[in-house]
Structure 1
């Protein structure tokens, strides 16, 4: 009995020591597994502007910090969705992704500057933000109709070259797109590339007051104008004040004045010169729009979307352009400056001998120039 007891007493501390060793080994094994396991790290996406300075923000996104934040608040109701997923992309990051695409025109630039978002997610975000911006277009792209806004517009144009009674400069521009599958031939313009023919009217501050982005590139400028609601408003007498200034691609009307083809006296030459300087605002508006948002310029490639989606992107860029004008955001420096568009017979629209616009233009030249 004495011997057995001593054995038991000797084996008890050995068993306890072995148990502690097993526990230590298990602890080390768990720690090693934790180190080997790849931990999920979620970035803070709620404040994506915090790590960039103001110069970089305008350079990459075309809008200043405060305007991006205002835009996020304005679009929040359209961009926030009820979801069971954790770490959903917040509206602020969605807006920045879309702005980066508008500014650069390619998905690679977006993925390079905004990490952690797939190309498919970028495409969906651009589509969502674009649709939200289009809903804002009636608030930002508005033609002057009340007396105060009409008077302000007329005064702004008169300061350019003293051309009287002007409420808008009108012109068209072609936005390049990918060749669509349906009715591909309709989108080939006279310069032999696929495009959307966009008609716009601007004021003296280069802000767009009317925009029509829905017709294929083969459509003539006069056709786009004739089938616009703004034309209907002028024709029906809804606009009884002011003149639009257009080039020879548009029909001469009592409310739409075009240059004199083949001027025969100094008065007509003076009229053409002042007309061109005043109407040039729409050329400059298009130039600034395309410098800001390369996605709609040749330098950014072509819009690789269905024509209907491309038209919405064009409208969204016009809304953002007007936001920049309203807030005096400086335009980016031009990379490929282009000359003015000259009057050519190819763009001329025959006016007819009994056109009432000819009489209006003749009286203006006789009394003013």
Structure 2
């Protein structure tokens, strides 16, 4: 668990003061062990507990990130950073902001950064990390990779050929009053939204562009890169699990409408579908637990979403990296609430995809109708005994 904001600031101030003075009070086991060697990097000044509390990441993960991002920052043609200490300070300031959602002047001062420049540093680092998304957020490209992901979903749900769970991630923002209606989502608060696809292990496979929170989920999906890839059969005959806010199409597996729940197989499918959808809610909860900046990104305008989009995508990159390093969350995640369903409108030119309704019905009957037969057989067997 991370400290409450005010208390944690006080603890950090003492810790950084101790670092600068090169002292450590006796008997205080919660303070980091100070290593006074200028030749070592910033991380060597802190123990593992402090790094975890401060950045919500482990030492090996932070070491990897520092080495990786430093190289990129030095190659930044618009604002190159050559000094290693300054580069580390920029990165650590950004990671602190991601972890806590604020960047106080006390912290930037101890890191040796001008507070005004620190805000620009966050934007610079976020842009670099977001541009790395194609390396760290990847959809299964080969047949074997797709089948590996699909097997994981089949093991937990019984649904075949599913390669991801699709959902829209909402982050609270403060738009100008004149644009409030654009950002007001179906839960009644202003947000920006980003479509994401995750696998059964919580890895992000796809992160799309950022829209005002009032944008319809169907609109976001139909204009996404991953949708166009499915339409062009780049991912073969596979499904993504999607909510009621999406139209049933060639590759989106939505629940059966309540008015069409005529069989026990369809009802069982809907229960399973709902359970699989919670995997995305859990991933969204993990993002906000580790990166508390995603609870509120502050002031935005509809025509200037690039900076918040970069921050969200940067956190998504860090999410996948932290999973590779098996970094525990700083606190238990809270499932993101399900947004009320918006009316689904048909899209002209995709009517031919509605024949997949028959494919879905066949799959439901095949995969979930057999359960009924097995249950009846078990009941009959018990009767004989």
TM-score, length of structure 2 as denominator length: 0.75
* 1:207 corresponds to: 203
* 2:262 corresponds to: 264
Q: Label 1:114 to 1:288 Cα distance change in 2 as closer, same or farther (>3 A).
A: farther
1:349 equivalenced with 2:344 (yes/no): yes
* 2:67 corresponds to: 73
Which of 270, 279, 283 is equivalent to 1:281?
279
1 CA distance for matches of 2:254 and 2:88?
A: 45
* 1:247 corresponds to: 243
* 2:360 corresponds to: 361
Q: Label 1:282 to 1:113 Cα distance change in 2 as closer, same or farther (>3 A).
A: farther
2 CA distance for matches of 1:86 and 1:165?
A: 49
Q: By how many angstroms is 1:71 displaced?
A: 1.2
* 2:45 corresponds to: 51
Alpha-carbon contact 1:187-1:196 (below 8 Å) kept: yes
Q: By how many angstroms is 1:296 displaced?
A: 0.9
**Mean Cα deviation higher: 76-85 or 169-178:** 76-85
1 CA distance for matches of 2:48 and 2:84?
A: 26
Which of 179, 183, 186 is equivalent to 1:187?
183
- After superposition, what is the alpha-carbon deviation per residue over 1:112-157, rounded to whole angstroms, capped at 9, x for unaligned? 7945433212202111111110121100111111122112211221
Alpha-carbon contact 1:46-1:93 (below 8 Å) kept: no
1:302 equivalenced with 2:297 (yes/no): yes
1:175 equivalenced with 2:171 (yes/no): yes
Q: By how many angstroms is 1:349 displaced?
A: 2.3
Aligned-partner SS, 1:50 = helix
- Give 1:93-104 correspondences, 5 Å limit: 93-104=89-100
Q: Label 1:93 to 1:85 Cα distance change in 2 as closer, same or farther (>3 A).
A: closer
1 CA distance for matches of 2:206 and 2:81?
A: 41
In structure 2, list runs of 5 or more residues that go unmatched: 1-20, 22-35, 369-385
1:91 equivalenced with 2:90 (yes/no): no
2 CA distance for matches of 1:63 and 1:95?
A: 13
TM-score, length of structure 1 as denominator length: 0.78
* 1:229 corresponds to: 225
**Mean Cα deviation higher: 124-133 or 111-120:** 111-120
Q: Label 1:46 to 1:186 Cα distance change in 2 as closer, same or farther (>3 A).
A: farther
* 2:10 corresponds to: none
**How many residues of Structure 1 are paired with residues of Structure 2 in the alignment?**
324
Alpha-carbon contact 1:250-1:258 (below 8 Å) kept: yes
Aligned-partner SS, 2:44 = coil
In structure 1, list runs of 5 or more residues that go unmatched: 1-40
Aligned-partner SS, 2:175 = coil
Q: Label 1:224 to 1:110 Cα distance change in 2 as closer, same or farther (>3 A).
A: farther
Alpha-carbon contact 1:252-1:351 (below 8 Å) kept: no
Aligned-partner SS, 2:293 = helix
- Give 1:301-320 correspondences, 5 Å limit: 301-304=296-299, 306-320=304-318
Q: Label 1:283 to 1:266 Cα distance change in 2 as closer, same or farther (>3 A).
A: same
2 CA distance for matches of 1:86 and 1:227?
A: 40
Aligned-partner SS, 2:149 = helix
Alpha-carbon contact 1:303-1:310 (below 8 Å) kept: no
Mark the structure with the bigger radius of gyration. 1
Q: By how many angstroms is 1:110 displaced?
A: 7.0
Q: Label 1:185 to 1:128 Cα distance change in 2 as closer, same or farther (>3 A).
A: same
1 CA distance for matches of 2:81 and 2:287?
A: 38
Aligned-partner SS, 1:329 = coil
2 CA distance for matches of 1:184 and 1:340?
A: 21
1 CA distance for matches of 2:82 and 2:149?
A: 50
